[in-house]
Amino acid sequence: MLFGRETKNPIKMADKGVVEWKYTTCGYCSTGCSIEVGINAEGKGVAARGVGDASVNQGKLCIKGIFEYELFNSTNRGKTPLMRERVIDPYRETHWDEALDYSAAQIKRIQEKYGRDSVAIVSTGQILTEEFYTLGKLARGVIGSNNYDGNTTLCMASAVSGYKRSFGSDGPPGCYDDFSHTECLMAFGSNLPEQHPIIFWRLRQALEKRKFPIIVVDPRVTMFAQMADIHLPITPGTDVVLLNSLAHVIIKEGLHDAAYIEAHTTGFEAFAQLVEQYDPVSASRVCGIDEDTIRNVARIYAKAGAAMSIWTMGINQSTHGSDGVVGINSLNLITGNIGKPGGTSLSITGQCNAMGTREWSSCSGLPGYRALEKEKDREDIAAYWGIDPEFFPKKRGLAQTDIFPAIETGQIKGLWLVATNPMTSMPNSPRIKKTLEKLELLIVQDAYADVETTKYGHVYLPAALWGEKEGVFTNTERRVNLVRKVVTPHGNSKADLWIFNEMAKRFEQGRKIRFPETPAEVFDEMRELSKGRMLDYSGLSHDKIESQRGIQWPCRDGDETGAPRLYTDGVFQYPDGKAKLIPLPFIDNNERPDEDYPFWLNSGRVVEHFHTRTRTGKIGNVNKFSPTPYMEMNPDAAKRLGIEHMTYARLVSRRGDAIVLVQLTQRVPPNMVFIPFHFHECVNRLSLGLLDPYSRQPAFKQCAVRIEAAADQHAAAAANVAARTF
Ligand SMILES: Nc1nc2c(c(=O)[nH]1)N[C@H]1C(S)=C(S)[C@@H](COP(=O)(O)OP(=O)(O)OC[C@H]3O[C@@H](n4cnc5c(=O)[nH]c(N)nc54)[C@H](O)[C@@H]3O)O[C@H]1N2
Ligand SMILES: Nc1nc2c(c(=O)[nH]1)N[C@H]1C(S)=C(S)[C@@H](COP(=O)(O)OP(=O)(O)OC[C@H]3O[C@@H](n4cnc5c(=O)[nH]c(N)nc54)[C@H](O)[C@@H]3O)O[C@H]1N2
Ligand code: SF4
Ligand SMILES: [Mo]
């Protein structure tokens, strides 16, 4: 008799006819997983698998990566450029020359009439680094508008600003390997298991070998909070108060690292004086975490041989986003936890190339972490590009969140959107819609023709997606990963690099500057421009990156590989080499729940969807997990309002309203609801988005709403369907 497996039908993998596996890097989140796409005999991508010897993911992929190859031929991919002179007319198909000639001519017309800065460019964190560098050259060196920014203002701006204020430069100092060395991990406003599943898997792997405490600070009982040893369900927007209080306890109890503070920081006295006011009793009344827990956490963190902090949008997307980051950096500085294995302050980035744009796009300055405000930086880049340094503005122009109000007031008349969908992703979308209607020119450059912004556009430029072109992405741990072209671009869509180069040719100054055609040649310019700097690419090449499955910068000319950590010598990027301890007084300026709008509205993401669903909404195997706009609501709160599980409810804020399906869950407290922001005409109709004073990042996660049971469930269902878009 046969037992066990031999009596069962063996599991058979579907034969997809793969004839070749091609190496590339995932194009969704900033984890940076190496992925192999299975190509069939017709050259189509038909399967995917993780790359076993890749340091980041070691063969794993999350659900988005597994089905990512389906994007290449998904519904409504842009096939050909579209144009119309007036928004009330339908689009007509056109060829590239006409679309680009028209776009360039309109940009010139508007600039001549209203000035150079009257045309704004808003880009992304989702194109290749070579494309970012080239767009920067075009925007700063040719078109010359200072109103050039990216969607990273919605995402990483607070982390950038906080790193600069604390350390004198941007650049996350740690790496995933720190999980294997740390003795305590504290996570602020990050839902790692859903948003960075493979980084989370790395953490779980480290925990299996050696237990260390996990502390999660999040107002929701997220998946991460559920596995934490200590969960701090903080009152929204008050992390700075908690951080000040942790520092208070650490200093009061003499648990700080006086030698490190003395040798590597400035400002300790003023810092200590400020945190003196944040005793745990007073702090607990503001941040909602009891005094004993604050003391306990402070002791655990400070006494650990090595302790690390990670954070994501729960910190960055706040009116105190930049301060929150500075507070986290200071916690690590006063405990001597920067630049050592397991001791770090690591911002978990968002989009696949949110780091690449910070490094090379020139959005907030000039390439390679250079600043417009520094004369030498302006001169160096002008000399390298062969233009007059006076062409550059002497300080940064408007951030994305200030560009839209400037369209409203008529300062800006033309807008070029590259790989971003502000109609769904910006706060207060009713206002954004009106704003876009005022434009004389809107160019939408996107991989999908149905991205909501095309409704307001004059020109649509169809772009190739990640695996249809070649170049690099930088991930959360500064690892530069190679994206190889695994299939040809869909239809007549083109790589963004090609589009920028073609646009440059249509400007007189663009014909004077060198715009290399191949990504490898562009990469060479980046290598030269970064040589000898902290952000050093000079030891990298495309082939070397592929052979090592990603290399961390800095990687200097002659280096075998990259450096896992920054600031290992305790020398920071301020002129005196010291990091700054900055006092952070807390001002409570959020819209808070009150009698009329009694609930906190919190928003974020779920594992199966990416952002505005232009991509994951088209993939059945991911879309089916949450095809409908919904909210998490506490059962007790729902009962009081007579709202039942799986019925529709209406939310109302001071900006607008939205219909969602109700999911009752204890994950949210009774005074809060949580809505994934992936759906059009949903959470951002309600959000306020007050801005952080340093980073200009919106507080997406803190505003107030009221909730009503929808009287007519049929009408509500119809409204809910409308918000799904596809
Ligand atoms: N599946 C998936 N993965 C993604 C993305 C995606 O769209 N889908 N997007 C990528 C991008 S661009 C980004 S930026 C990241 C975002 O990654 P995360 O920041 O991890 O994701 P979010 O869900 O936006 O927010 C995280 C948590 O912040 C909490 N929070 C809200 N208010 C506060 C507060 O005041 N304090 C604290 N401490 N926490 C608070 C929320 O409850 C939420 O659980 O994910 C990346 N990965
Ligand atoms: N309420 C609320 N709102 C939020 C957030 C939140 O937590 N809550 N999070 C914010 C954050 S962190 C972020 S990052 C933003 C994201 O906001 P967006 O950037 O506006 O959202 P995406 O859907 O990622 O838009 C990217 C677009 O680029 C296109 N695309 C993809 N690859 C390419 C390419 O290679 N070339 C070109 N040309 N196009 C391409 C996609 O089709 C898509 O339309 O949303 C923000 N909005
Ligand atoms: S974790 Fe991020 S990079 Fe890795 S497969 Fe998933 S979406 Fe792609
Ligand atoms: Mo983001």
CA 670, CA 658: separation in Å to the nearest integer? 20
CA 292, CA 17: separation in Å to the nearest integer? 61
* β pairing state of 184-188 and 214-217: parallel
Question: What's the per-residue H, E or C state across 132-163?
Answer: HHHHHHHHHHHHCCCCEEEHHHHCCHHHHHHH
Judged against a pLDDT cut of 60, whether residue 195 lies above it is answered with yes
User: CB atoms < 10 A from the CB of 379, how many?
Assistant: 12
**Mean pLDDT value across the chain:** 96
**What's the maximum distance between 2 C-alpha atoms anywhere in the chain?**
88
Residue nearest to atom 6 of ligand 3 (CA): 62
Best CA proximity match to 128, nearest among 530, 502, 541, 484: 484
CATH number of 82-155+352-552: 3.40.50.740
Nearest bound ligand to the CA of residue 202: 3
Judged against a pLDDT cut of 60, whether residue 515 lies above it is answered with yes
Cβ partners under 8 Å of residue 506, min gap 6: 100, 101, 104, 105
Question: Is 471 strand, coil or helix?
Answer: strand
Listed residues: CB within 5 A of ion ligand 4: 155, 350
pLDDT at 577: 98
The ligand 2 atom nearest the CA atom of 466: 35
User: CB atoms < 10 A from the CB of 681, how many?
Assistant: 22
CATH architecture for segment(s) 173-347: 3-Layer(aba) Sandwich (3.40)
pLDDT more than 90, % of the chain:
94
What class has domain 599-723? Answer: mainly beta
Cis peptide before 554 (omega within 30 of 0): yes
Residue of 103, 128, 151, 622 with the most ligand 2 atoms within 8 Å of its CB, for mutation: 151
pLDDT at 282: 98
> Which of 58-62, 574-578, 712-716 has the least mean pLDDT?
712-716
State mean pLDDT over 190-194. Answer: 97
Cis peptide before 635 (omega within 30 of 0): no
CATH number of 2-73: 2.20.25.90
User: CB atoms < 10 A from the CB of 112, how many?
Assistant: 10
CA 566, CA 571: separation in Å to the nearest integer? 9
User: CB atoms < 10 A from the CB of 18, how many?
Assistant: 16
Q: How far is the CA of 196 from the centre of ligand 1 (A)?
A: 10
CB 121 within 8 A of CB 143: yes
Residue nearest to atom 4 of ligand 1 (CA): 195
CA 209, CA 212: separation in Å to the nearest integer? 10
CA 124, CA 259: separation in Å to the nearest integer? 42
Q: How far is the CA of 313 from the centre of ligand 1 (A)?
A: 5
The ligand 3 atom nearest the CA atom of 196: 1
Alpha carbon 85 to chain centroid distance?
Answer: 34
Judged against a pLDDT cut of 80, whether residue 6 lies above it is answered with no
Determine which helix (DSSP H) or strand (DSSP E) holds 205, and give its type and residue range. Answer: helix 197-209
Q: Ligand 1: does its nearest atom lie under 6 Å from the Cβ of 312? A: yes
CA 551, CA 563: separation in Å to the nearest integer? 8
Q: What is the DSSP secondary-structure string of 636-704? A: HHHHHHT--TT-EEEEE-SS-EEEEEEEE-TTS-TTEEEEETTSTTSHHHH---PBPTTT--B-TT-EE
Residue of 51, 57, 61 with the most ligand 3 atoms within 8 Å of its CB, for mutation: 61
The ligand 3 atom nearest the CA atom of 199: 1
Question: What's the per-residue H, E or C state across 540-589?
Answer: CCHHHHHHCCCEECCCCCCCCCCCCCCCCCCCCCCCCCCEECCCCCCCCC
Judged against a pLDDT cut of 90, whether residue 4 lies above it is answered with no
pLDDT at 726: 47
User: CB atoms < 10 A from the CB of 475, how many?
Assistant: 29
CB 662 within 8 A of CB 129: no
Give whole-number Cα distances, 518 to 129, 383, 465, 636, in Å.
13, 22, 17, 59
Q: How far is the CA of 673 from the centre of ligand 1 (A)?
A: 15
Question: pLDDT tens-digit profile of 120-165?
Answer: 999 999 999 999 999 999 999 999 999 999 999 999 999 999 999 9
pLDDT at 718: 79
CB 630 within 8 A of CB 665: no
Instruction: Tokens for 152, please give them.
Output: 């990273």
Question: pLDDT tens-digit profile of 7-22?
Answer: 666 666 678 899 999 9
pLDDT at 722: 64
Instruction: Tokens for 526, please give them.
Output: 């980046």
Q: Which residues line ligand 3 (CB under 6 A)?
A: 26, 28-29, 31-33, 57, 61-62, 64-65, 196-198
State mean pLDDT over 683-697. Answer: 95
State mean pLDDT over 331-348. Answer: 98
Question: pLDDT tens-digit profile of 100-124?
Answer: 999 999 999 999 999 999 999 999 9
pLDDT at 636: 98
Q: How far is the CA of 197 from the centre of ligand 3 (A)?
A: 7
pLDDT at 456: 97
Going by pLDDT thresholds of 50, 70 and 90, the confidence category of residue 713 is confident
Judged against a pLDDT cut of 90, whether residue 710 lies above it is answered with no
Going by pLDDT thresholds of 50, 70 and 90, the confidence category of residue 717 is confident
CB 424 within 8 A of CB 614: no
DSSP 368: T
User: Residues spanned by CATH 2.20.25.90 within the chain?
Assistant: 2-73
Judged against a pLDDT cut of 80, whether residue 256 lies above it is answered with yes
Instruction: Tokens for 270, please give them.
Output: 């003023």
CA 314, CA 134: separation in Å to the nearest integer? 32
User: CB atoms < 10 A from the CB of 336, how many?
Assistant: 22
Going by pLDDT thresholds of 50, 70 and 90, the confidence category of residue 723 is low
Q: How far apart are the first and last CA of the chain?
A: 54
User: Residues spanned by CATH 3.40.228.10 within the chain?
Assistant: 173-347
Alpha carbon 628 to chain centroid distance?
Answer: 23
Question: pLDDT tens-digit profile of 574-619?
Answer: 999 999 999 999 998 999 999 999 999 999 999 999 999 999 999 9
pLDDT at 15: 85
User: Residues spanned by CATH 3.40.50.740 within the chain?
Assistant: 82-155+352-552
Residue 330 CA neighbour count, 13 Å, CB half: 32
* β pairing state of 307-311 and 184-188: parallel
CA 121, CA 445: separation in Å to the nearest integer? 11
Q: Ligand 2: does its nearest atom lie under 6 Å from the Cβ of 425? A: yes
